Structure 1
Amino acid sequence: MGFFSSAHRRRTRTGVNGPNTGSDRSRVEPERPGTELEEISRRGLLAGVGAVGSLSLVGSSARVGRTIPGCERAAADAGPEHVPRPVDDDVTMFRRGLRRYGYYPDVTVPDEVRVDWSTPVNRIGHTAAKSTPRPTSDGETILVAADTGVIRALTPEGNERWRLETGASRSLGFHGTPAIVGDVAYVGGYDGVLYAIDVESGELIWRTGIREFDGAIAIGSSPAYIDGRLYLLAEYSDPASGALWEIDAETGTPTWSDDRIWGMPHPSPAIDCDAGRLVTGSNDGVVYCWEFPSLEFAWSFQAGGEGGPDGESMAGGRFNLGAEIKGTTPVYDGAAFVGSWDGRFYRLDLADGSEEWSFETGQVIMSNPAIDPDEGVVYVGGDDRHVHALDAETGDELWSTNVRGHVIGSLTATADAVLVGSYDTHLYALEKETGSRRWRVENRGHVTSGPIPRGGRIYYAERGVFSNFWDDSEETVFEEPGHAYCLVADD
């Protein structure tokens, strides 16, 4: 979880669509109501106080009219809406594609399951959701990125192929999920470094240096990949802020960035090639949207809320800390779907960012929702301890199920069930039509990764187990590591 410093709250930026003053952007954005004041980017602020060593990259104004063949192919594809994009059997990534649906229409979930194997991976008490185990495209290797900074390659049977210890071990390790393209995996760490790893050998191909992301302190975002380019968010402190980056996947060289983001952003960018949009949220409670592939800034949307526990806000009150957006925003049907700490789940028009509907839970929402595009249903969980099935067009609730604990990780939709982890230490399978519980599996810690069905198995991970974690008056004690699990049918 990112925290906002007093230096951040003293910043003078009060809008997200005003004139740009950052070193990598030179255009003026269209004026929108309530955003007429000047925008000050993170680089612009640091440059103003004599900071040195920051990058000056080609801004989006120089990219108008560019094309990305993979996005053109994806937009022209007339196949089923549920097909992951890019349409490439050799690419696998977080939430199963650029649109971040988390949908597996060809998978049915067994009526009963058992734990086939588990292995210890996570040992850090950080409150962010844990990295999701990611199978390669052929399903023969499962990569597990741990909060210890170790990446492991496992067989479907749980045998270790290799392990790689990285510099992220000196921070909070990994929370993002690898994107796997052919025989290369890409994952960012809480050391602010992006790693490219050979999937077969576990050898490091390249890693970015601290200057290449302009002094980023963390990358919790899971990369999106298309046509040789990676897109991810980086986090900064003093002031607390973020940036969207485009990176050459072959070399690790950044090719573009936009640092207009406030707050330390955790979500993973979603791309809709049909609508020509890239969207993400951040800890400032704002959804940001760029045209794609030109990367011209398009619009922003501010979630509601009254600020944090002490009514805190930032940028002259423009942004409410209590409205933080930590979940990834899937894009479907010309809309973006996003939950906020303001207790609402929104559908936003991708064309202009206008709110089409919102659903109120009254509690923090920070999970990654799943979308079934065949049925037009979105599934979301939150701190209200419920999973809600909503009509994607109207926002009407179809059913709601209590899973007895906070839901902060990723939901997964299959042909017949919704898989979801809970703070109550269980992984649940819910009937997709009714929400009734099919089964639940007891684990050790909070289940906060996404559950991934592959080859008759279900992979997921949990947090480590701590006592007194939420009690400041007592010493926090590490009890046992969180495990990665593999479930199989219990015939």
Structure 2
Amino acid sequence: MYRANSQRTGYYKTSGIKQLNGIKWKFKQSTAISSWIPGWNWGIATNNNMVCVSNPGGNIYGLSSQTGEQHWMYKLEKSNEPIYPVIANNTIYLSYRRLDYSAIDEYLLAIDLYSGRKKWEFKLPLDLKTFTFDYALTSSSPAFFNDVIYIGGGNGCLYAIDAFSGNLIWSFKTTKNKPLTAPAVGKNIVAVYSSDGNLYIVDILSGEQKWKFEIGSLPSLSNSLPMVPMIDEEKIYVIDDDNILHALDIQTSQSLWSFTVNNQPLTIPAISQGILCVGSKDNILYGLNANSAQQIWKFKLNEFLYWSNLAVDNQSLYIGTQGSLQALDLLTGEHLWQFDIPLQERWFFDSQMLLYGLLNQMIKIVAGSTKDLETFTEPVVSNNTIYVGCSNGYLYALN
């Protein structure tokens, strides 16, 4: 599930990897895809037996979590946007947009985890003939909670859908016909950002609005998806368009504290063991006390043009950057290890990747960057294994 769970905390309930041993297995997407848009937005979900991954070509793969062997592939029609699947009840749930020259349609799809066959499909009502800037920036990922799927639509509606039948339970319309991002679910509420500049809090059973909080335009750190709200205990964490992180009381919307770094854009936060982790665009990671925002530690990364969303477990913090996946100690911020792209899997050893690699080098020259533009996406942690996609076309399972 995008951001690890329905609360969007980025937290995986596992001990993770404090010492990296190496590659457990790796999976390379088809050359037909990797030669065009290789691995830029791997979406990853896993359970004990299977790993479900999506890539920018609209391919959904079912892989063995132990060996990486491909069991099946499902091809989405006319879709090339980021897709972040959810696994629950031996089913994969995902939302996607079907694009052609005459219309844009949105769907919620349920696929059998072990066979790759479609169970049902729900078409989200949408009347949009051409892309808008807001629509291009937003991408929703479903949240699963108590056998209900919650999904934000491009028409400004939030939907609750029965996970077994695909039938609509309720829908909530925001004030404007603006697209919504991925909702967060917990504490009997659903929280969702809208491109109309508000955070909406909706009752989970009735679909009625409880309150809303103005955030302005959707904030987004360069090269990452727009922000999603995060729910933990009795707080909702949101970032407004002034790049201020707020902790709000989940019942009253009262601001409990706020945090900012000289108006620097912030990453989507992650939280574990009472430590809230957040990064700023000046390449600094912070560990904060979740109750007070008091700084516990900070860590200066190298000067990267790109870094992924943060992921945490019981012991560590993980972040994908240019050319490497890095791990820090959750409690102290100490750097633990990094995983670099194996030399033989760099672009200059792969004829299918040569054009992509040359383009990367041109971008580096223009941007004045000394870092490689091959990037790692947001990692997923499960059963002492880290799954992470890279823009070289590979998905890595690390242990």
TM-score (norm 2): 0.77
Q: CA deviation at 1:389?
A: 1.0
Task: Supply the AA of the counterpart residue of 1:486.
Answer: A
Equivalent position to 2:387, from 431, 449, 459: 459
Q: What percent of counterpart residues are identical? A: 24
Does the alignment pair 1:428 with 2:326?
yes
User: CA separation in 2, counterparts of 1:119 and 1:382?
Assistant: 32
**1:246 aligned to which of 160, 163, 171:** 160
How big is the shift at 1:284? 4.2
Alignment of 1:308-327 (within 5 A): 319-320=216-217, 326-327=226-227
Partner letter of residue 110 of structure 2?
A: A
Post-superposition shift, 1:111? 1.6
Q: What value does the CA root-mean-square deviation take over the aligned residues? A: 2.8
Question: In the aligned structure 2, how far is the partner of 1:322 from the partner of 1:414?
Answer: 25
The yes-or-no answer on 1:185 pairing with 2:83 is no
CA contact (8 A) 2:316 2:330 kept: yes
Q: Is the CA contact (8 Å cut-off) linking 2:328 and 2:337 kept in structure 1?
A: yes
Shift of 1:321: 6.1
1:142 and 2:51 correspond: yes
Alpha-carbon distance between aligned partners in 1 of 2:21 and 2:394, rounded to the nearest angstrom = 17
Equivalent residue runs for 1:178-327 within 5 Å: 178-191=85-98, 192-209=106-123, 212-215=124-127, 220-236=139-155, 242-260=156-174, 263-266=178-181, 268-273=182-187, 276-303=188-215, 319-320=216-217, 326-327=226-227
2:22 alignment partner in structure 1: 114
Closer, same or farther: CA 434–227 of 1 in aligned 2, 3 Å:
closer
CA contact (8 A) 2:276 2:289 kept: yes
Conserved? CA contact 1:109–1:414, under 8 Å: no
| 1:414-453 aligned within 5 A | 414-422=313-321, 424-443=322-341, 445-449=374-378, 451-453=379-381
CA apart distance, 1:185: 0.9
Query: In structure 1, how many angstroms separate the alpha carbons of the residues matched to 2:264 and 2:164?
Result: 42
State the AA in 2 paired with 1:223.
P
| Cα separation, partners in 2 of 1:161 and 1:130, compared to 1, 3 Å | same
Return the alpha-carbon distance in structure 2 between the equivalents of residues 160 and 322 of structure 1.
37
Using the size of structure 1 for normalisation, the TM-score is 0.64
- TM-superposed deviation, 1:150: 0.5
Whole-angstrom CA distance in 1 between matches of 2:393 and 2:259: 33
Aligned-partner SS, 1:351: coil
CA–CA separation in structure 2 for the residues paired with 1:387 and 1:150 = 33
Query: Does the CA-based 8 Å contact 1:119-1:483 persist in structure 2?
Result: yes
Helix, strand or coil for the counterpart of 2:3?
helix
Q: What is the aligned partner in structure 1 of residue 102 from structure 2?
A: none
Residue 347 (structure 1) shift: 0.8
Amino acid aligned to 1:290: V
Deviations 1:296-343 (A, max 9, x none): 10111123xxxxxxxxxxxxxxx4466899222221231111234432
Mapped partners of 2:13, 2:44: distance in 1? 19
State the one-letter code of the partner of 2:161. Answer: I
Higher fraction of strand: 2
- Which consecutive residues of structure 1, in runs of 5 or more, have no partner in the other structure? 1-92, 237-241, 304-318, 465-480
